[in-house]
Amino acid sequence: MLSRRALTLAARSSRTTARSSPQPLLQRAQFSSALSRRAEQQVDDPEMNGNYINPPRIKRQHRDPYGDWDDKQERRNFGEPVHEDNEVLGIFALEDYTHMTPARGALMWAGFIGAILTVSFAVRATFPGKPSVPTEYEGGLEKELGGPGAHRAFQAGDSYEV
């Protein structure tokens, strides 16, 4: 354990050094100019990544799978810098769908809609519509359809207007 005298001497020395050695004016000016230089360097960095050199933005799935890579799975060589968007460009990121062009997609949509319209018009042209003359029943099938008070079927002599 430290003695009481050692503690008081340590406290006094810390107080006197703090009071007796303020930073000189020249040192403060150099420190503030260093801060301003650092701020200027940050402004000059358009990608805001601390002037880290990014390799080209190429997704790893598009690299040669048969190339002589140090890491065959990730298609990467030892010491190669990692892009800051590595989680998007890595081999385990979502797949890029490059097999479909917009023109091919539009052509497929047009074919699908054309096929649906063709089938609809073919069904409409061949589907039997309403018979030209309604079927007539003797007595209107009154007893078979529920007796008196029920809606009766079409009988001979009824008008064709609905």
Identify the weakest region by mean pLDDT among 9-18, 67-76, 127-136, 148-157. Answer: 9-18
Using left for φ > 0, alpha for ψ between -120 and 50, and beta otherwise, residue 141 falls in: left
Contacts for 134 with CB less than 8 Å, ≥ 6 apart? 154, 160
Beta bridge partners of 128: none
Could you count the other beta carbons within 10 Å of the beta carbon of residue 75?
A: 19
Number of residues in the chain: 162
Check whether 132 has a pLDDT greater than 50: yes
pLDDT value of residue 105 = 95
Higher-confidence residue of 85 and 11: namely 85
CB 32 within 8 A of CB 47: no
Backbone angles phi, psi at 71, to 5 degrees: -110, 100
Higher-confidence residue of 19 and 40: namely 40
Predicted confidence band at 17 (pLDDT cuts at 50, 70, 90)? very low
pLDDT value of residue 18 = 46
| pLDDT, tens digit (0-9, with 9 covering 90-100), for 119-129 | 999 999 998 87
pLDDT value of residue 37 = 66
Identify the weakest region by mean pLDDT among 29-43, 62-76, 92-106, 125-139. Answer: 29-43
| Residue at 133: amino acid letter | V
Helix (H, G, I), strand (E, B) or coil at 71: strand
Q: Which of 3-17, 32-46, 95-109 has the highest mean predicted lDDT (pLDDT)? A: 95-109
Backbone angles phi, psi at 115, to 5 degrees: -65, -45
pLDDT value of residue 102 = 92
pLDDT value of residue 3 = 61
Could you count the other beta carbons within 10 Å of the beta carbon of residue 60?
A: 19
- Tell me how far apart the alpha carbons of residues 70 and 30 are, in angstroms, rounded to a whole number: 47
- CA-based angle 44:49:53, to the nearest 5? 90
CB 160 within 8 A of CB 134: yes
- CA-based angle 118:124:125, to the nearest 5? 90
